[in-house]
């Protein structure tokens, strides 16, 4: 990434995030949002994040044609622990532990 791109992203995200946060508090006031919009907004995070991660896991081997076993295993463990415990840090920790163990064992 170039320095220029990085600063464009930092500044745009800084300004954009501020306006997302300011939107209602500062501009919209008490007027309610249309229900159909709220209904879609509820699912942004659970849709965008998996959409980004899936190809990173599914094509993680050196040739980029399929999953690398250690990474696939680490990803599945992170999801399982996260879904079971509802604890983000426990999920990150167990996923990282599995990947580290896998690298140590297989060399």
Minimum CB–partner distance for residue 35 and another protein (Å): 10
- Residue found by looking up tokens 């919209």 in the block: 28
- The DSSP line for 5-65 is HHHHHHHHHHHHHHHHHHIIIIIITTPPPPHHHHHHHTTHHHHHHHHHHHHHHHT-STTSS
Residue 63 binds another protein, judged by CB under 8 A: no
Residue 41 binds another protein, judged by CB under 8 A: yes
Residue 107 binds another protein, judged by CB under 8 A: no
Site for another protein, rule CB under 8 A: 1, 5-14, 16-18, 20-26, 28-30, 33, 36, 38-60, 71, 74-75, 78-83, 85-89, 91-92, 95-96, 99, 103
């Amino acid at each position: 990434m170039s320095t220029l791109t990085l600063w464009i992203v930092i500044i745009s995200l800084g300004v954009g995030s501020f306006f997302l946060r300011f939107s209602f508090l500062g501009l919209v006031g008490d007027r309610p949002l249309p229900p159909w919009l709220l209904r879609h907004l509820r699912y942004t995070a659970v849709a965008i994040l998996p959409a980004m991660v899936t190809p990173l896991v599914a094509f993680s081997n050196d040739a980029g044609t399929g999953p690398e076993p250690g990474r696939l295993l680490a990803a599945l463990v992170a999801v399982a622990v996260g879904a079971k415990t509802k604890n983000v840090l426990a999920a990150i920790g167990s996923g990282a532990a599995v990947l580290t163990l896998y690298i140590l064992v297989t060399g």
